[in-house]
Structure 1
Amino acid sequence: MNKYSEELALVKSYSCSEVFVTVVKMWNAVAKILLRTKVHQDYSRTLLLVQKGRSILTRPPSSRNCWQHIAGAVQPFNVSTSIQKVEALDVNNFVRIHWEDGSKSLYPAVWLRDNCQCPDCFLHSAKARKLLLEDLDVNIGVKEVILTDRQKVYITWPDKHTSEFEAEWLKKRCFSEQARAEMQEELFLPECKYWGSDLQLPNMSFEEVLHSDESAYKWLSTLKKVGIVLLTGAVTRQGELVKLGKRIGFLRLTFYGPTWQVEDKRDANNVAYTSGKLSFHTDYPVLQHPPGIQFLHCIKQAATGGESEVVDGFHVSNKLKEQNPQAFQILSSTLVDFTDVGVDYCDFTMQSKQRIIDVDYRGQVVRINYNNATRDTVFDIPAEKVQPFYAALKEFVDLLNSPEHKFTYKMKPGDIVTFDNWRLLHGRRSYQSGTEISRHLEGAYADWDVVMSRLRLLRKIVQNGN
Structure 2
Amino acid sequence: MPEHVDIEILDRGAAMAVRLPDGARRRFHAVWLRDNAWDEATRAPGNGQRRITLADIPADTRIAAARIEAGQVQVTFEPENRTIAYDAAWLAAHAYDRPERRSPGWTAPEIETWDAGLGASIPVADFQAVRRDRAALGGWLRGVRRYGFGKLTGGPVESEALLGVAALFGYVRETNYGRHFEVRTEVNPTNLAYTGLGLQAHTDNPYRDPVPTLQILYCLENSAEGGENMVVDGFRAAERLRAESPEGFDLLTRHCARFEYAGEAGVCLRSRRPMIELAPDGELVAIRFNNRSAAAITDVPYEHMAAYYAAYRRFGEIIDDTAMEVTFKLAPGECFIVDNTRVLHARKGYSGAGSRWLQGCYADKDGLLSTLAAIESQPRKAA
Q: TM-score range by the shorter chain?
A: 0.7 to 0.9
Letter in 1 for 2:116: G
Contact conserved, 1:302 with 1:438, CA < 8 A, in 2?
Answer: yes
Letter in 2 for 1:190: E
Query: Where does residue 311 of structure 2 map in the other structure?
Result: 392
Task: Map 1:6-155 onto structure 2 (within 5 A).
Answer: 79-80=1-2, 86=7, 88-89=9-10, 91-97=12-18, 99=20, 104-145=25-66, 147-151=68-72, 153=74, 155=76
Shift in Å, 1:278: 0.9
Query: Where does residue 177 of structure 1 map in the other structure?
Result: 98
Query: Where does residue 62 of structure 1 map in the other structure?
Result: none
Aligned counterparts of 1:191 and 1:432: Cα–Cα separation in 2 = 37
Shift in Å, 1:272: 0.3
Q: 2:289 aligns with which of 355, 360, 370?
A: 370
Aligned counterparts of 2:301 and 2:224: Cα–Cα separation in 1 = 48
Contact conserved, 1:145 with 1:156, CA < 8 A, in 2?
Answer: no
CA deviation map 1:129-179 (0-9, x unaligned)? 122212222332234445432435252533333433344433433444289
Counterpart secondary structure, 1:123: coil
Aligned counterparts of 1:258 and 1:218: Cα–Cα separation in 2 = 27
Aligned counterparts of 1:238 and 1:316: Cα–Cα separation in 2 = 35
2:369 matches 1:452? yes
Aligned counterparts of 1:380 and 1:458: Cα–Cα separation in 2 = 43
Shift in Å, 1:416: 0.6
Distance 1:115 1:324, change over 3 A: closer
Shift in Å, 1:196: 2.4
Query: Where does residue 379 of structure 1 map in the other structure?
Result: 298
Query: Where does residue 268 of structure 2 map in the other structure?
Result: 349
Query: Where does residue 413 of structure 1 map in the other structure?
Result: 332
Q: 1:273 aligns with which of 179, 194, 213?
A: 194
Shift in Å, 1:309: 1.7
Distance 1:427 1:172, change over 3 A: closer
2:223 matches 1:302? yes
Distance 1:465 1:389, change over 3 A: farther
Query: Where does residue 195 of structure 1 map in the other structure?
Result: 115
Aligned counterparts of 2:48 and 2:28: Cα–Cα separation in 1 = 21
Letter in 2 for 1:444: C
Shift in Å, 1:100: 6.2
Contact conserved, 2:72 with 2:85, CA < 8 A, in 1?
Answer: no
Shift in Å, 1:380: 4.2
Counterpart secondary structure, 1:242: helix
Distance 1:323 1:164, change over 3 A: closer
Please report the TM-score for the alignment, with normalisation by the length of structure 1: 0.73
Looking at secondary structure, tell me which structure has more helix per residue: 1
Counterpart secondary structure, 1:332: helix
Distance 1:462 1:209, change over 3 A: farther
2:360 matches 1:443? yes
Counterpart secondary structure, 2:336: strand
2:242 matches 1:242? no
CA deviation map 1:168-218 (0-9, x unaligned)? 433433444289x9xxxxxx7533142225533332111111111111111
Aligned counterparts of 2:90 and 2:284: Cα–Cα separation in 1 = 32
Q: Mean Cα displacement is larger for which, 326-335 or 83-92?
A: 83-92
Query: Where does residue 331 of structure 1 map in the other structure?
Result: 252
Letter in 2 for 1:453: S
Query: Where does residue 105 of structure 2 map in the other structure?
Result: none
Q: What stretches of structure 2 of length at least 5 have no aligned partner?
A: 103-107
Shift in Å, 1:371: 0.9
Letter in 1 for 2:328: Y
Distance 1:210 1:139, change over 3 A: same
Aligned counterparts of 1:316 and 1:111: Cα–Cα separation in 2 = 38
Higher relative contact order (CA 8 A, sep 6+): 2
Contact conserved, 1:83 with 1:167, CA < 8 A, in 2?
Answer: no
CA deviation map 1:314-346 (0-9, x unaligned)? 1122112222223222222221111112449xx
Flag as ranges the 4+ runs of structure 1 deviating above 6 A.
none
Aligned counterparts of 1:350 and 1:99: Cα–Cα separation in 2 = 51
Counterpart secondary structure, 2:80: coil
**Which structure's CA Rg is the greater one?**
1
Distance 1:426 1:109, change over 3 A: same
Query: Where does residue 258 of structure 1 map in the other structure?
Result: 179
Aligned counterparts of 2:282 and 2:364: Cα–Cα separation in 1 = 23
Contact conserved, 2:149 with 2:337, CA < 8 A, in 1?
Answer: yes
Aligned counterparts of 2:125 and 2:302: Cα–Cα separation in 1 = 50
Shift in Å, 1:422: 1.7
Aligned counterparts of 2:93 and 2:302: Cα–Cα separation in 1 = 52
Q: What stretches of structure 1 of length at least 5 have no aligned partner?
A: 1-78, 182-187
Please report the TM-score for the alignment, with normalisation by the length of structure 2: 0.87
2:347 matches 1:428? yes
Query: Where does residue 85 of structure 2 map in the other structure?
Result: 164
Query: Where does residue 318 of structure 1 map in the other structure?
Result: 239
